Chain A
Amino acid sequence: MPLAIVVVLLVVGSVVFHILSPWWFLPIASDWGMMDNTVQLTFWVTGFVFVAVNLFMAYSIVKFRHRDGHKAEYRPEDKKLEWWLTGITTLGVAALLTPGLFVWARFVTVPPDASIVEVMGQQWNWSYRYPGNDGALGATDPNLISPENPFGIDPNDAKGQDDVLVQSQDLHLPIGKPVKVLLRSRDVTHQFAVPQFRVKMDMVPGMVTYFWFKPTKLGTYNVLCEQLCGIAHFAMRGRVVVEEQKDYDAWLAAQSTYASIAATKAGDASAGAANYAVCSACHGADGQGNPAMNAPKLAGQEGWYLARQLYGFRHGLRGGDEKDTYGQQMAPMAMSLADETAVRNVVAYIASLPAGDNARQTLAGNVARGKALYVTCGNCHGDKGEGVWATNAPRLAGMSDWYLKRQLENFKSGVRGAHADDFPGSQMAFLSSVLHDDRAIADVVAYLGTL
């Protein structure tokens, strides 16, 4: 008897939970509402079966519970009943399947007027490529991928010259226009998923996959990777901005094409030497840093990282938080560089400085424990803390330990990496949660000092 009551309560409770649940689809932002409809239809049909069969079972448990003198019925088969049940079930299944297949037929039929955009996945971030004026993407080859050519575009393919490359995490799309999203991966399998759009697809290295949809709601949406892609899978985030056509056009026009990036002159170290004069006041003429001035060592650091940080300081992604005293000091210094050319030049100059010895150790910590903690860090920063451009992870080995400690504290407290456009920073903020307390930070920094 209690069992029957519990079964009834669970059935009623499940239905009530379903109705009252605050957890339901995020408001849809694409034209795939019919997917939601098939989900609703499936809920109705399966919900009916769930309630009916379980209540019948509960009834049977009560009605046919053992009592003295009671005896079970002996009727091994009932062909008629079994055929009826088979028939009804088949109808129910067909009622679910048929609409599903019709919607799927729409999924596999990309509208001819759909524009195309390519999403490239890599451990653990996103980048995007638009076809440019010719409407066609240039050929690519993974063997051509390098820091200078992250999409691996074939330089000899005319179609690729006007391809618009977006290396931030923001994908912009105009509202109301169907778009075919072509998906590629540079390394392992990823998945491009925006819950509000409903459709999603894996991105598989070695092939191009796709899905299509029409954005129907203005807004900004989080992109999630939904295919396990390694240790920072959970921190692989991007953003889709759905905007009016004119805003989209303006944004797109401001992006760089493959040809314009390829034509950009490399930094000129000798020209950068003059720019560096300002920097040397704090960071030292040899770029070795100065703890007294709160200036970290620069020599030996990866150029692409220095460039990104200078960009961050210049555009408010870094140094904007009022608790970031030293970042706030650095921001105007970075602004003193006249333009992007000056940034490239000064970075080239710093890259030309000899790395020198490891920065002097100023802090103590448990190296063995730090080594264990560093297992997580090493996935992006490299086993030896050497820095890895592909994961946006700077060099750590040999750099100023007091500076690393302060930055880890800043990431943990949200002083750094909180700016909405600082994707690598926010990723580091996610991952800095691995270091639970000051001791863990001290230990991992101590370990870095041994590399």
Chain B
Amino acid sequence: MAYVAMADRDDPHALHDPQSFVTKYIWSQDHKVIAIQYGVTAIAIGLVALVLSLVMRLQLGFPHAFSLIAPTDYYQAITMHGMIMVIYLLTALFLGGFGNYLIPLMCGSRDMVFPYLNMVSYWVYLLAVIVLVIGFFVPGGPTGAGWTLYPPQAVSKGTPGATWGIVCMLISLGIFIVAFTMGGLNYVTTVLQARCRGMTLMRMPLSVWGIFTATILGLLAFPALLVSAVMMTLDSTVGTSFFMPAMVSMGHSPTHSGGSPLLFQHLFWFFGHPEVYIVALPAFGIVSDLLSTHARRHIFGYRMMVWAILAIGCLSFVVWAHHMYVSGMNPYFGFFFATTTLIIAVPTALKVYNWVLTLWRGDIHLTVPMLFAIGFIFTFIHGGLTGLFLGNVTVDVPLSATYFVVAHFHMVMGVSPILVVFGAVYHWYPKITGKMMNDFLGRLHFWITFLGVYAIYLPMHYLGILGVPRRYYAYTTTDFPQSVQELNRAITISALIVGAAQLILLYNLVYSLFRGKPSGPNPWRATTLEWQTPDTPPHHGNWGPKLPVVYRWAYDYSVPGASDDFIPQNVPPGPTAPATHGHGSDT
């Protein structure tokens, strides 16, 4: 029991706070420390992926100018950029980072229900990252099969890293899934079992709803990736033929027979589509809380928002083959998957409406987190609407495999969630460190990033409409006009500026740690429990001797008759804090 906080107990004597540096910061079982470990690791590997994206943009913008970027390097860069960003940065940061930090604090728990497992989860994640990095140094380098790793190409000659690199990638993914499962079971169990008194499910902040639902999606979706990683590893190392048909690779007689490349694609996208929502749902939840807090208004249509998250989560498992309209699967599937995909647009659109309606008749403070949250709404509307093109099978066909796809998914699951991550960092940094981040640098970071990404991705859609295919190292003789090259150069320059602007954030993170103004416990005057801790940053066990008790929903902002424009969730009804809209009973 040493160094472990029981998630849902009052008794302070059970707590043996860690004393040494190692137990406090290294082998820590405190969800807040683990969250920071996840966050720092994810951002570190994410910076690698950022640099890789600049490598590929340099090649596209200035082809033949950089002798160091050969086709091998280019394909390795796009592959590792994609995989790192999706899995090792966004998934790990939203669930391992924000999930770990926010779930116990927002639910009024002392810690995750399985703190030891939580600690192991991080270290296994770190191992996955290390194996991933080892992939850069094995003979032949990392895999260059594209982040979708389609066989037979991923394990065949002619693709970079088809022997060692791909195996490192698959093993790393397997390890990551082990780590995710340990963390994920923890998050789900904590939300279900360790909420404090009064915190009914329908009083939970939407951040928790988003992370909780995303975690369930992950627990159901990652196994599909795990089995396909195992099967492809076997195909590649011991010569099985799960995904490998009889084929004549580089003129050699077939060594496999009977496998199905499409089977892999189905398994991959059965994971891959929910993965979009594993990233998006936490962003949806977190941005709801940012908007509500900084607009001083309840989230509009809370129940609708919760049901929309759940509906999107369920639907996300029956849309996967919209990634495969031109894969060669039976084209009749197109009818089904186009329909399910467009249905998912309805709850998603409702969420957008409710975010905007939260601003409507609010009292909008344009703080740095709010800027990012509104930036998110803009980019998400854009990326969501282009999804209606690609989800609709007929419209998808001419656009598939072009830069329209690249622009769409970067807007919707790259830029949008990342803007939420930034907003969330500026929002919760004061709780994590006790210091405010520098406001000017935050605004500078926002404006360059927001305008810069739009300058990257808006024109990119039109390259796609023109028909310019993605994953091309260079465009030599084609039917496309020369202006494509000029546009690519402009996009590259924007990308370089946006990439460089992230240094402002890194600088601000470090600078504010030492020089930031003290924030006090609740600088944003927010209602949710994490802002009501007795200490800032919260100590081990979060709540001191007594756990909080919740009396109301998470969105009591600007309540008529209240003395203040916010009422924290743990304030009982009284003369200056009227009982309000909370759903469910108090116990």
Contact B152 A187 (CB under 8 A): yes
Partner of A72, one of B157, B304, B339, B558: B558
Question: Which residues of B lie under 8 Å from residue A142 when comparing CB positions?
Answer: 245-248, 254
B47 close to A (CB within 8 Å): no
Encode contact with A along B294-316: 1 for CB under 8 Å, 0 otherwise: 01111011111000000000000
A133 close to B (CB within 8 Å): no
Residues of chain B in range 214-258 having any CB-CB distance to chain A below 8 Å: 245-251, 253-254, 258
Partner of B262, one of A32, A66, A207, A375: A207
Encode contact with A along B521-559: 1 for CB under 8 Å, 0 otherwise: 000000000000000000000000000000000010111
Contact A200 B401 (CB under 8 A): yes
Q: Give the interface segment out of A264-272, A348-356, A433-441.
A: A433-441
Question: Which residues of B lie under 8 Å from residue A73 when comparing CB positions?
Answer: 297, 361-362, 558
A177 close to B (CB within 8 Å): no
Residues of chain B in range 420-465 having any CB-CB distance to chain A below 8 Å: 451, 454, 458-459, 462-463, 465
B353 close to A (CB within 8 Å): yes
Contact A104 B334 (CB under 8 A): yes
Contact B377 A207 (CB under 8 A): no
Contact B466 A231 (CB under 8 A): no
CA distance A86 to B353 in the complex (A): 10
Tell me the smallest distance from the CB of B122 to a CB of chain A, in Å: 33
Encode contact with B along A1-42: 1 for CB under 8 Å, 0 otherwise: 001001100100010011001111110000010111011001
Contact B342 A231 (CB under 8 A): no
Residues of chain B in range 335-350 having any CB-CB distance to chain A below 8 Å: 335, 338-339, 342-343, 345-346, 349-350
Contact A224 B478 (CB under 8 A): yes
Partner of B397, one of A23, A200, A232, A440: A200
CA distance A26 to B481 in the complex (A): 10
Contact B328 A209 (CB under 8 A): yes
Contact A22 B481 (CB under 8 A): yes
Contact B146 A228 (CB under 8 A): yes
Contact B356 A206 (CB under 8 A): no
Question: Which residues of B lie under 8 Å from residue A7 when comparing CB positions?
Answer: 374, 378
Given known contacts A22-B483, A46-B388, A204-B328, is B366 in contact with A65 (CB within 8 Å)? yes
Tell me the smallest distance from the CB of A253 to a CB of chain B, in Å: 29
- Most chain B CB inside 10 Å of its own CB: which residue of A72, A229, A382: A72
Contact A204 B366 (CB under 8 A): no
Tell me the smallest distance from the CB of B387 to a CB of chain A, in Å: 9
Contact A434 B70 (CB under 8 A): yes
Tell me the smallest distance from the CB of B136 to a CB of chain A, in Å: 15
Question: Which residues of B lie under 8 Å from residue A6 when comparing CB positions?
Answer: 451
Tell me the smallest distance from the CB of B24 to a CB of chain A, in Å: 40
Q: Give the interface segment out of A93-101, A292-300, A322-330.
A: A93-101
Partner of B152, one of A77, A188, A234: A188
Tell me the smallest distance from the CB of B229 to a CB of chain A, in Å: 18
- Most chain B CB inside 10 Å of its own CB: which residue of A39, A45, A122, A390: A39
Contact B153 A234 (CB under 8 A): no
Given known contacts A50-B382, A187-B249, is B392 in contact with A100 (CB within 8 Å)? yes
B363 close to A (CB within 8 Å): yes
CA distance A45 to B392 in the complex (A): 13
CA distance A82 to B247 in the complex (A): 55
Contact B364 A64 (CB under 8 A): yes
B507 close to A (CB within 8 Å): no
Given known contacts A86-B350, A189-B153, A440-B67, is B395 in contact with A56 (CB within 8 Å)? no
CA distance A34 to B397 in the complex (A): 12
CA distance A64 to B246 in the complex (A): 65
Partner of A100, one of B394, B398, B463, B555: B394
Contact A96 B479 (CB under 8 A): no
A261 close to B (CB within 8 Å): no
CA distance A434 to B152 in the complex (A): 26
Encode contact with A along B23-41: 1 for CB under 8 Å, 0 otherwise: 0000000000000000000
CA distance A225 to B156 in the complex (A): 18
Question: Which residues of B lie under 8 Å from residue A45 when comparing CB positions?
Answer: 388
Contact A74 B345 (CB under 8 A): no
A430 close to B (CB within 8 Å): yes
Contact A235 B476 (CB under 8 A): yes
Question: Which residues of A lie under 8 Å from residue B502 when comparing CB positions?
Answer: none
CA distance A204 to B220 in the complex (A): 28
Given known contacts A38-B395, A103-B394, A203-B328, is B466 in contact with A23 (CB within 8 Å)? yes
CA distance A230 to B157 in the complex (A): 8
CA distance A107 to B580 in the complex (A): 56
Partner of A189, one of B152, B157, B361, B371: B152
Partner of A10, one of B245, B326, B352, B454: B454
Contact A93 B565 (CB under 8 A): no
- Most chain A CB inside 10 Å of its own CB: which residue of B70, B332, B475: B70
Given known contacts A89-B350, A430-B474, is B465 in contact with A24 (CB within 8 Å)? yes
B484 close to A (CB within 8 Å): yes
Tell me the smallest distance from the CB of B76 to a CB of chain A, in Å: 10
A123 close to B (CB within 8 Å): yes
Contact A376 B342 (CB under 8 A): no
Question: Which residues of A lie under 8 Å from residue B402 when comparing CB positions?
Answer: 226
Partner of A89, one of B345, B382, B394, B479: B345
Tell me the smallest distance from the CB of A242 to a CB of chain B, in Å: 13
Name which residue of chain A comes closest to B64, CB basis. A433
Tell me the smallest distance from the CB of A427 to a CB of chain B, in Å: 9
Partner of B565, one of A72, A152, A237, A429: A72
Contact A57 B393 (CB under 8 A): no
B159 close to A (CB within 8 Å): yes
Point out residues on B near A: beta carbons under 8 Å: 63-64, 67, 70-72, 75, 144-146, 150, 152-153, 156-160, 245-251, 253-254, 258-262, 295-298, 300-304, 326-328, 331-332, 334-335, 338-339, 342-343, 345-346, 349-350, 352-354, 356-357, 359-366, 371, 374, 377-378, 381-382, 385-386, 388-389, 392-395, 397-402, 451, 454, 458-459, 462-463, 465-467, 469-481, 483-484, 487, 555, 557-560, 565, 580-581
25 chain-A/chain-B pairs, Cβ below 8 angstroms: A17-B462, A24-B465, A39-B395, A49-B385, A57-B356, A57-B377, A60-B356, A64-B359, A64-B361, A66-B363, A71-B296, A74-B559, A76-B581, A82-B354, A93-B342, A93-B343, A93-B345, A101-B335, A147-B251, A205-B247, A222-B477, A233-B471, A376-B72, A390-B250, A433-B476
- Besides A93-B346, A185-B247, A204-B261, 12 other CB < 8 A contacts? A3-B366, A25-B466, A42-B389, A46-B389, A50-B382, A60-B359, A61-B359, A74-B559, A207-B328, A382-B250, A390-B250, A433-B64
